[in-house]
Amino acid sequence: MRFPLFIFIFICWWQTGFSQVIPGDDLNSFLDRYNYEKKRELQEIYATYQSIEGTPFLDEEFVKGTAIINDSVQIEDVPLRYDIYRDRIQFMHKEEVILEIDPTQNINFDFGDHLFVIQEYLDDKEKKRGVLELLVDGSVRLYKKYEVVFKPATKPIGFKDAEPDRFERKDDKYLIAIEDGLPEIVQRKNDVYQILKACKPDIEEYAKNNKLKPKPGKGLTQLVEYCNE
């Protein structure tokens, strides 16, 4: 019986103990990651996607990238994409068989100018697990969580036209983690300052002097980078 991909990677890492690069074509030997029923389920999901307006993906096209485990083993040239709605990283076999990465595995994915990690995080103190984009690395880390929701079809009401089943992007969420702590979603400026004061007590004064706002974008990124100086 063939090994699932993540078990194979772990064995390679455990036996060698040093960095190893695996060509993407080697994925062809590990299609038993999901059994037939799982493949059929995914096919049904994608068929349903076709009847819904909008897209659940960050990018519908697969982009060749690298899968990294434990900063040691790399699998290169893997066609990858991110299904935001299902919160799954997917890869495509050369025969156009689409599979999903096991969400319980701690694997990083570098593709399309994005570095994604699968890990636990805090949402209003509730522990969750999912795909996050790492924006700033260091002792203080900044992450982004993408959001897509499904909106069911509606009938016309008054002057409002009917709308079909559709996927809609929601505002991205941002998370901050310090040292070994879990990334935590921050929604208000006070949340940002409260977390960052642990490493830079003068963070509010720094933001004021540099005219930075603790909001998604350049301001938040610069504040986190300042904490890593």
Same domain, 15 and 86: yes
Q: Is residue 228 part of a domain?
A: yes
User: Cα(116)–Cα(88) distance, rounded to whole angstroms?
Assistant: 11
C-beta of residue 70 within 8 angstroms of C-beta of residue 85:
no
For Cα atoms 206, 216, 124, give the angle at the middle one, nearest 5 degrees.
100
pLDDT tens digits for 41-66?
A: 777 888 889 899 999 999 999 999 99
Domain end, chosen from 112, 144, 172, is at 112
Q: Is residue 120 part of a domain?
A: no
Domain span at 4: 1-112
Spatial CB neighbours of 55, under 8 Å, sequence gap ≥ 6: 167
In three-state secondary structure terms, 30 is helix
pLDDT tens digits for 122-163?
A: 998 899 999 999 999 999 999 999 999 999 998 888 778 888
CA dihedral (21, 58, 220, 182) positive or negative: negative
Q: Is residue 126 part of a domain?
A: no
User: How deeply is 207 buried, as exposed, middle or buried, from its count of CB atoms within 10 A (0-12, 13-18, 19+)?
Assistant: buried
Q: What is the DSSP string of 44-98?
A: HHHHHHTTSBS-SBS-SS-EEEEEEETTTEEEEEEEEEEETTTTEEEEE-TTS-E
Q: What pLDDT is stored for residue 38 in this prediction?
A: 66
Same domain, 3 and 106: yes
C-beta of residue 178 within 8 angstroms of C-beta of residue 215:
no
Q: How far apart are the first and last CA of the chain?
A: 50
R_g of the chain computed on alpha carbons: 20
Q: Is residue 124 part of a domain?
A: no
Query: Which of 102, 79, 87 has its CA nearest to residue 32?
Result: 102
Collect the ranges in the chain with pLDDT lower than 50.
Answer: 1-19, 25-35
Q: Is residue 143 part of a domain?
A: yes
Q: What pLDDT is stored for residue 37 in this prediction?
A: 57
Total tally of structural domains belonging to the chain: 2
Q: In residues, how long is the chain?
A: 229
